[in-house]
Structure 1
Amino acid sequence: MLETLVNNYARHNSTDEELVKLFLESQDNRYFEKLYERYSFKVYQKCLSLIKDASKAEDLTHDVFLKLMFKMNTFKEDAKFSTWLFSITYNHCMDLLRSGKKQIVTVHEEKADFVDDFDMYDIFEVEAVDTRKLRAALKQLNVEEKAMLYLKYMDNRSIRDIANIFRLTESAVKMRLMRSREKLRKKYQDCILFS
């Protein structure tokens, strides 16, 4: 009885990293299930934002967690679980897209107000932009450019996190972010001029 209470307490009040450790030590699926409960919807949203197909995103979410279960022993204790999970999710979706199984790629268009989540001042150095034109400008970026901008300006991920996700150096991420911001600004200005 006491062991059950301790296990329940640990499962519900542990950090993600502690749950990983508990799962690896005990192989008790309840710890993995708790991680699934915490992150399945977020993983689904990330898959949907990259694939834009709800049923495919559901399948990919299950694939990611299946892959996660087998890769759990590769988790580094000093890493942040959510960043590691997002990296697995992103790479799994990108592998699918690269394989040619899905030709049309759009990011976050299903969410009508997604542009409101951007930190506009950091990108445009103004407080407000025309969201319709911003959507049009974002459509002209490639998937990697959009993903980097979303990670930095919507999810507030650090340069280090983004570097880990994309398997790049931090300086390469800074350079790509700068280029993506500039490209988005130019595309946005073109939308304003030619509308």
Structure 2
Amino acid sequence: MEDMDIVLAYRKHQHATCFRLLYERYAAKVYSKAMTMLHKESEAEDATQEIFTKIFLSLGKFEGQAKFSTWVYSITYNLCIDKIRRSRRSRELFATEMEDPPDTIEEVPDEALMSMQLSELRYVLSQLTESERTLLLMKYKDGVKIKTIASLLGKTESAVKMQLKRVKEKSKRIHDRQFASVT
């Protein structure tokens, strides 16, 4: 049964079974994304619960203009970002986001990120802001298309591509600074 069929059946009959089917399909994915973004089990569990509460309350409003999975991802992403913003209203977040690499740097190929060792990649990701890290993970870990990312973030595709380019450049600089002498 397709997601939209389950949503329509839920709207028509209000059966908890329909919602349970959606929960079973998406709970692990939602929890995994929340864990990736929030880094703490308890926060990821709380977020997952909040996300499914929000989905439950909003299911009647889901129009099917996007895929159900995209809608769930959008709710997950936005709720996690809200949690991060609330918990990190500090100068650190704003200070690192203000660093803007010059536009004259050459494009960093995706291979530069892909060739990093896992420990190096973890280090580089830990040095990025939450929004930068999330952007890279959406694109390269989750395989989300630029168009979908743009829609989720409320930006143009061009703006997302530029932001992605800058984050890759920053990642490469962090990596080279930290690991250049090691190799």
Normalised-by-shorter TM-score class: 0.7 to 0.9
**Runs of at least 5 residues in structure 1 that lack an aligned partner in the other structure:** 1-13, 104-120
* Map of 1:15 onto structure 2: 2
Task: For 1:1-195, list aligned pairs within 5 A.
Answer: 14-100=1-87, 123-125=110-112, 128-193=115-180, 195=182
Retained in 2: the 8 A contact 1:60–1:93? yes
Retained in 2: the 8 A contact 1:124–1:185? no
Aligned residues: 165
Retained in 2: the 8 A contact 1:151–1:157? yes
Shift of 1:89: 0.9
Runs of 4+ off more than 4 Å:
none
The one-letter amino acid of 2:34's match is: C
* Map of 1:3 onto structure 2: none
- Report the TM-score, using the length of structure 2 for normalisation: 0.81
Distance (whole Å) between structure 2 residues aligned to residue 98 and residue 126 of structure 1: 27
**Runs of at least 5 residues in structure 2 that lack an aligned partner in the other structure:** 91-107
Retained in 1: the 8 A contact 2:112–2:172? no
Distance (whole Å) between structure 1 residues aligned to residue 137 and residue 156 of structure 2: 18
- Report the TM-score, using the length of structure 1 for normalisation: 0.76
Distance (whole Å) between structure 1 residues aligned to residue 119 and residue 20 of structure 2: 40
